[in-house]
Amino acid sequence: MLTAVLIIAIVPAFLILGLGLVARAVAAQRATPRVVQYTPERDSTVLRDALLIDADRRAASAALIDLAVKRKIRLIAGAGKRDPIGVELVSTAVLTTEEGALLESLFGPEHTSTRVRRLSAGRRALAGRLRSLLLSTEHALARDDLVAPRRVTWPGVTLTILAYLGLLVEAVFLVVTIVGADWAALVTTLIAVAATIATVLVTPSSWRRFLPAATPRREHLAGLKQYIDLAEADRLRMLQSPSGAELRTADAAAPEQSDPITRFHLHERLLPYAVLFGLEREWVAKLKLEHTELAATDLDTVGLVDVTVDIALAIEAAGSVVELTSAVGDLADSAGNVIDGVFELFNL
Question: What percent of the chain has a predicted confidence (pLDDT) above 70?
Answer: 80
What element of type H or E holds 329? strand 328-332
- Residue 256 shares a structural domain with residue 180: no
Q: What letter represents residue 183's amino acid?
A: W
Most confidently predicted of 77-91, 245-259, 274-288? 274-288
pTM, full prediction: 0.81
Torsion angle (degrees, nearest 10) of CA 47, 52, 54, 60? 0
| Residue 256 confidence (pLDDT) | 55
In tens, the pLDDT along 137-152 reads 999 999 999 999 999 9
Q: Which phi and psi (to 5°) does residue 88 adopt?
A: -115, 125
How large is the average pLDDT for residues 329-333? 77
| Residue 90 confidence (pLDDT) | 87
Q: How far is CA 239 from CA 42, 122, 223, 236, in A?
A: 22, 46, 10, 5
37 lies in some domain: no
- Residue 113 shares a structural domain with residue 165: no
In tens, the pLDDT along 156-201 reads 999 999 999 999 999 998 988 888 888 888 899 999 999 999 999 9
Torsion angle (degrees, nearest 10) of CA 299, 304, 310, 311? -140
| Residue 109 confidence (pLDDT) | 61
Question: What percent of the chain has a predicted confidence (pLDDT) above 90?
Answer: 39
Contact 118, 317 (CB under 8 A): no
Structure-model confidence comparison of residues 39 and 236, the more confident one: 39
DSSP label at 152? B
- Residue 133 shares a structural domain with residue 216: yes
Residue 1 C-alpha from the chain's centroid? 48
Strands 85-89 and 73-76, how do they pair? antiparallel
DSSP symbols for 251-262: TEE-GGGS-HHH
Contact 293, 305 (CB under 8 A): no
How many structural domains is the chain composed of? 2
- Residue 101 shares a structural domain with residue 219: yes
| Residue 81 confidence (pLDDT) | 66
181 lies in some domain: yes
| Residue 346 confidence (pLDDT) | 57
* Rounded Cα gap, residues 221 and 208, in angstroms: 17
Strands 85-89 and 328-332, how do they pair? parallel
Judged against a pLDDT cut of 60, whether residue 133 lies above it is answered with yes
In tens, the pLDDT along 18-34 reads 999 999 999 989 888 88
The domain boundary residue, chosen from 171, 186, 202: 202
302 lies in some domain: yes
- Residue 286 shares a structural domain with residue 307: yes
Of the candidates 219, 236, 192, the residue with the CA atom closest to the CA atom of residue 32? 219
**Distance between the two ends of the chain, CA-based, in angstroms?**
75
Q: Using only the alpha carbons of the chain, give its radius of gyration.
A: 25
- Residue 171 shares a structural domain with residue 131: no
Contact 64, 98 (CB under 8 A): no
| Residue 344 confidence (pLDDT) | 60
Judged against a pLDDT cut of 80, whether residue 83 lies above it is answered with no
- Residue 165 shares a structural domain with residue 290: no
242 lies in some domain: yes
- Residue 312 shares a structural domain with residue 170: no
Which residue segment(s) compose the domain that 219 sits in?
Answer: 46-137+210-331
- Residue 99 shares a structural domain with residue 168: no
* Rounded Cα gap, residues 97 and 156, in angstroms: 35
How large is the average pLDDT for residues 107-115? 56
340 lies in some domain: no
- Residue 159 shares a structural domain with residue 294: no
In tens, the pLDDT along 192-229 reads 999 999 999 999 999 999 999 999 999 999 999 988 88
Structure-model confidence comparison of residues 40 and 239, the more confident one: 40
What element of type H or E holds 74? strand 73-76
- Residue 56 shares a structural domain with residue 197: no
| Residue 248 confidence (pLDDT) | 36
Contact 153, 206 (CB under 8 A): yes
- Residue 116 shares a structural domain with residue 264: yes
Average pLDDT taken over every residue of the chain: 82
342 lies in some domain: no
63 lies in some domain: yes
142 lies in some domain: no
How large is the average pLDDT for residues 107-118? 54
Residue 60 C-alpha from the chain's centroid? 8
In tens, the pLDDT along 241-270 reads 444 433 434 444 555 556 677 777 778 889
